[in-house]
């Protein structure tokens, strides 16, 4: 194989336990959408299922795949579900989002009636992210409509924050205030409904947002939501263990003369005679092209710079710091080697993006080995 991922199940479980303890007595839900942020949905879900009040996915397909894999934990679908799939969602004991008191509500009721089971829904409130949800001040119409149909049971009310990574965020305060309006109206009619708005950053930085349930996504995988969040939690005792490592091996080494070019576009010219190594992975394997001439990977515990442009299936490294490297030598793209570590956050900084994008865009075709130790 040209490149492969290792996922530490022990790290996942340690993170789940730490996050659950952080918010107790609030319940902890864990988000495994996007193939568990690139880590492997079924295996991740299986590893942390016992620690979860709910597992959250985005699509009905993700939910059904988890059920097919034997996952029995409560599943909450966060995204839209087509009317044609509602019966299947209900039959597989999935909890669903609801933000439409018109046709969609009646589709839910019809699906529930056809399979003889209630549709369990979480009412989605738009508090200012302006994607999905009914307006906080307008939830009474939906509650009235639900009361007028059979087979639809409100079990939760939720929203999502836009700027929770900021410690001083007036917008977060505004959103929390809007959510309070909606959840108080809903709780008056459905006192047992779970209230939730906090994801990883909010659960850490805004304790008042934890309510009944906190939804942990990126933090479950040992990645901090932002550097500001990491700094703010420095004295909290919370430790997150990165669960994912990415490794490959050299397939070619060669010596080049001063002035020779490397890669497409000839964007790198050797300033001196150099020894270089070729990796059989590139942007088709999840390495952002923006790491060209900027990132580095680890060989024999040393950082080796990326030279030239990353291609679809290859990239080239400077072997100056790894003089013993040869064909077959292991290369760590993400993870630890000796005292050095390359993190998803490093890739994100080099690629001018966020760590969420780095890990979720690792192709499902990359082999994933699930191991018990923490790497």
* Nearest in space to 242 (alpha carbons), one of 11, 1, 6: 11
Q: How far apart are CA 252 and CA 189, in angstroms?
A: 68
Q: Is 264 a residue of the active site?
A: yes
- The one catalytic residue in 37, 174, 264, 283 is 264
User: Which residues neighbour 109 within 8 Å (Cβ) at sequence distance 6 or greater?
Assistant: 119, 149, 150, 151, 152
8 A C-beta contact, residue 344 and residue 223 = yes
Q: Is 33 a residue of the active site?
A: yes
* Nearest in space to 316 (alpha carbons), one of 295, 330, 300: 295
Pairing status of strand 75-77 against strand 213-216: unpaired
Strand partners, 254: 276
- Tokens encoding 309: 């442009």
- Tokens encoding 180: 């309070």
Q: How far apart are CA 317 and CA 258, in angstroms?
A: 16
8 A C-beta contact, residue 37 and residue 5 = no
- The one catalytic residue in 33, 124, 283, 356 is 33
* Nearest in space to 213 (alpha carbons), one of 281, 158, 153, 139: 158
Kindly state the greatest CA–CA separation across the chain.
79
Q: How far apart are CA 199 and CA 109, in angstroms?
A: 30
Q: Which residues are catalytic?
A: 33, 264
């Amino acid at each position: 194989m040209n490149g492969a991922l290792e996922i530490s199940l022990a790290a996942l479980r340690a993170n789940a336990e730490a996050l659950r303890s952080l918010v107790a007595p609030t319940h902890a839900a864990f988000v495994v959408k996007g193939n568990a942020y690139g880590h492997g949905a079924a295996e991740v879900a299986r590893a942390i299922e016992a620690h979860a009040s709910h597992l959250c996915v985005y699509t009905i397909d993700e939910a059904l795949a988890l059920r097919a894999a034997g996952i029995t934990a409560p599943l909450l679908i966060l995204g839209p579900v087509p009317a044609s799939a509602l019966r299947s969602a209900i039959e597989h004991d999935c909890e669903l989002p609801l933000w439409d008191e018109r046709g969609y509500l009646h589709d839910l009721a019809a699906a529930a009636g056809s399979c003889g089971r209630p549709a369990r829904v979480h009412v989605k409130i738009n508090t200012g992210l302006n994607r999905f949800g009914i307006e906080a001040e307008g939830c009474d119409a939906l509650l009235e409509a639900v009361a007028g149909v059979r087979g639809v049971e409100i079990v939760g009310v939720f929203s999502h924050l836009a700027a929770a990574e900021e410690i001083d965020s007036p917008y977060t305060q505004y959103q929390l205030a809007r959510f309070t309006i909606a959840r108080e109206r809903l709780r008056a009619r459905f006192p047992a409904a779970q209230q939730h708005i906090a994801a990883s950053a909010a659960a850490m930085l805004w304790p008042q947002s934890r309510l009944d349930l906190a939804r942990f996504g990126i933090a479950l995988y040992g990645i901090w939501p932002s550097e500001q969040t990491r700094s703010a939690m420095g004295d909290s005792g919370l430790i997150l263990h990165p669960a994912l490592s990415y490794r490959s091996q050299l397939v070619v080494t060669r010596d080049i003369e001063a002035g020779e070019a490397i890669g497409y576009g000839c964007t790198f010219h050797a300033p001196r005679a150099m020894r270089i190594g070729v990796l059989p992975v590139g942007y088709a394997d999840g390495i952002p092209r923006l790491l060209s001439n900027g990132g580095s990977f680890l060989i024999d515990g040393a950082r080796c710079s990326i030279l030239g442009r990353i291609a679809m299936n290859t990239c080239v490294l400077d072997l100056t710091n790894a003089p013993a490297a040869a064909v077959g030598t292991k290369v760590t793209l993400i993870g630890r080697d000796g005292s050095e570590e390359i993190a998803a956050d490093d890739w994100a900084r080099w690629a001018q993006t966020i760590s969420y994008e780095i890990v979720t865009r690792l192709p499902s075709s990359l082999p994933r080995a699930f191991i018990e130790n923490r790497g």
